[in-house]
Amino acid sequence: MSLPDLVIAAERVFDGEVLYRDRFVVVRDGRIADVTSNPAPAAHLIRLPPGALLAPGFVDVQVNGGGGVLLNDDPSPVGIGCIAAAHRRLGGTTALLPTLISDTRPVIQAAIEGVAAAIAAGVPGILGIHLEGPFLSPHRPGIHDPARFAAFLPSDLELLTQLGDQGITLITLAPEVVPPGTVAALVARGALVSAGHTADDGAAIRAALEEGLTGVTHLFNAMSQLASREAGAVGIALTDDRAFTGIIADGHHVGDTALAVARRMKGAGRLMLVTDAMPPVGDPETLATFTLFGRTIRRDGDRLTGSDGTLAGSALTMAGAVRHMTTRGGAPIEEALAMAALTPARFLGLDNQIGRLAPGYRANLVALDQELSVLGTCIGADLDFPNGPSASAA
C-alpha cells in the first residue's frame, strides 16, 4: 500500500542549488514527488514557522561519535544508531559515515560488521563506513594513537573493502606510507580514498590522485602545509580540482582566514563541511570529559583537547558548521547548505539520490529556524520534528 502523501510548507526552500520563496515539498513513498507553489491536497501537512528554511538533509562523511558513543568503543548497530540519532536531532544530519579512528585490525573488522548490520537493520541515515587510519604518518598523528598505526599488508585489501555493495567505504590514509598501487587497488575494489594525516611534500599525493584518490580529510589539520617551495597536502588540496576537501568549520580547527582561502580556492562544489564529531554531541553525560584510548579528553566550551592541548575531534554539528560558514566563513546561505549536503553527496557518488530536493530523490530533509537551529528532519518516510510543528490533516 502506498504511504500517505506528506506536504511540508516553508517560506524558504533550498533545493540544493536555488533558494525559493513560499514553496511546498511533496513527499510520497519516502521520496520527493514535487517542489511546487501549488500542491494538490495531501493527507498530512507540516507548515513550518515564519522565516523557517527547508533544505536537503545534511550529509556528514566524518562522524567518530555522538550520543555518548564512540564508534571504536561500541561498533554495534545500537551504538551506531545512537550516534546517528544524536546528529540527526541536533545537527540535521540525515546521512552519514560512522568513522573509525585508527585501531587494530580486529576492531576494524568489528566496525565493518557493525555498520553492515546497522544498514541491514534499517538504522536511519547510515551510508557506510569511514576508516580513518591506521595507515597514517607518525609525523602527523593528531589525536590518533601512533601505537595503533600499521604497515599496509596485501590482506588489508580484503579487510578494508569487505562491506562491498552493502554500503560506501571511505578510507583515509597517508599516501606516502602505503606501497605504490595501493590506492588504485582499493579504488578497484569499490572504495573511496582520501588523503589525511600525511607529512608528504606533495609527490605521493599527486601519484595517489593519478591512482584514483578523490578526497582530502579535514583540510589544514594533521597534514603538511603549503610552503614557498613545497606544495604539501594543503597546496595540492587547494589547487587540484580532482580532490574534494572536507573542512571542520568550528572556529578551532581552522581560522577565519584559512576558511576564506579554502572557500575561494575550492568553491562550494568541492569544499564539504564535516564535523569530525566525538561522543559529547548530544549526550550530557560526556559533556565534560571522555576517554579515548586511555587518554582523558576534556571539553572547554565546544573545544575538545587532550592533556597536551591536541585537538581531539570536535563537539560540532552540521547545523553548527553551516552557521559558522555563514557568520565567519563569508559564505552565502546557499553555499553553506550546498557544502553540507550536495557536495558531500557528490563526493560519495550519491548526488542522484540525496543532496537535492527534486522529484525522485530520497526525502532526506532538514527544517531550520531563522538562526539555523534544527526544527526537525525527514529521512524517507521517517519524520522527526521534536522542535517544530507536527504533521496534521491537510
Is-contact 93 317, C-beta < 8 A? yes
For residue 274, give the C-alpha cell. 564535516
Q: Is 312 annotated as belonging to a binding site?
A: yes
119 annotated as a binding-site residue: no
Determine if residue 298 is left, alpha or beta; phi over 0 gives left, psi from -120 to 50 gives alpha, anything else beta: beta
Q: Is 218 one of the annotated binding-site residues? A: yes
Nearest CA-CA partner of 132 in 106, 160, 110: 160
- What is the Cα–Cα distance from 350 to 346, expressed in whole angstroms? 6
Residue 276 a catalytic site member: yes
Residues 352 and 334: beta-carbon distance below 8 Å: no
Strands (E), 41-180: 44-47, 53-56, 58-63, 65-66, 69-70, 93-101, 128-132, 168-173
Determine if residue 313 is labeled as part of a ligand binding site. yes
Which amino acid is located at 247 in the chain? I
Q: Is 320 annotated to bind ligand?
A: no
Q: Is 248 annotated as a binding residue?
A: no
- Neighbouring CB atoms inside 10 A of 114's CB total 22
Cis peptide before 134 (omega within 30 of 0): yes
Measured distance CA(139)–CA(105) in Å, rounded: 21
Consult the annotation and say whether 202 binds a ligand. Answer: no
Residue by residue, DSSP assigns 244-296 as EEEE--SSSSS-HHHHHHHHHHH-TTTEEE---B-TTTT-GGGSSEEEETTEE
d(CA 78, CA 83): 9
- The one catalytic residue in 276, 283, 302, 382 is 276
8 is an annotated ligand-binding site residue: no
Altogether, the residues listed in the chain come to a count of: 394
3 is in an annotated binding site: no
At 386, give phi and psi (nearest 5°).
Answer: -70, -25
Task: Decide: 24 and 5 in contact? Cβ < 8 Å.
Answer: no
End-to-end CA separation in angstroms for the chain: 20
**How many angstroms separate the CA atoms of 178 and 189, rounded?**
16
Residues of each annotated binding site: 132, 143, 197, 218, 221-222, 229, 253, 311-313
Residues of each annotated binding site for substrate: 143, 221-222, 229, 253, 311-313
Which residues belong to the active site? 276
Residues of each annotated binding site for Zn(2+): 132, 197, 218
